[in-house]
Amino acid sequence: MLRQTQEVIIGIFDPVMTENRDGENPGTDLAEWLSRHGCTVKVARYPSGGKETGDCIVGRAKELGADLVMMGAYGHSRLREGVFGGTTRTLIEQQDLAVPLAH
């Protein structure tokens, strides 16, 4: 499915660029892997401006005219997500974009 897209944008919000966290260049390993499989890929780093990450993803996707947001889900326990909310919940509850989730 991704090979048929015009462009894949790997959006990174407020990355912590250290060897022990997100790596020195977050997203580049995924971009390289996708490129090898025929995708046109761009890695973009965005500031959240203090907003919730899910809202930032939805906002940026709308700005870019994205048709689809692909993401992993539930990095935290479901209990924590249920009580405090989170990125996964925000993306599930929004209705403007298609969002296949992987766990």
- Residue 102 clears pLDDT 90, i.e. is over it: no
Distance between CA atoms of residues 55 and 58, nearest Å = 5
- Residue 16 clears pLDDT 90, i.e. is over it: no
Structural tokens at position 95: 């209705």
The three-state DSSP-derived secondary structure of 29-75 is: HHHHHHHHCCCCEEEEEECCCCCCHHHHHHHHHHHHCCCECCEECCC
Sketch the domain layout of the chain as residue ranges.
1-47
How many CB atoms within 10 Å of residue 17? Answer: 12
Q: pLDDT-derived band of residue 3, with 50, 70 and 90 as boundaries? A: confident
Task: Please state the φ and ψ torsions of residue 65, each to the nearest 5 degrees.
Answer: 75, 30
Closest CA to 6 of 49, 82, 51, 65: 65
Q: What is the pLDDT of residues 25-48, one digit of tens each?
A: 888 888 999 999 999 999 999 989
Task: Please state the φ and ψ torsions of residue 60, each to the nearest 5 degrees.
Answer: -65, -40
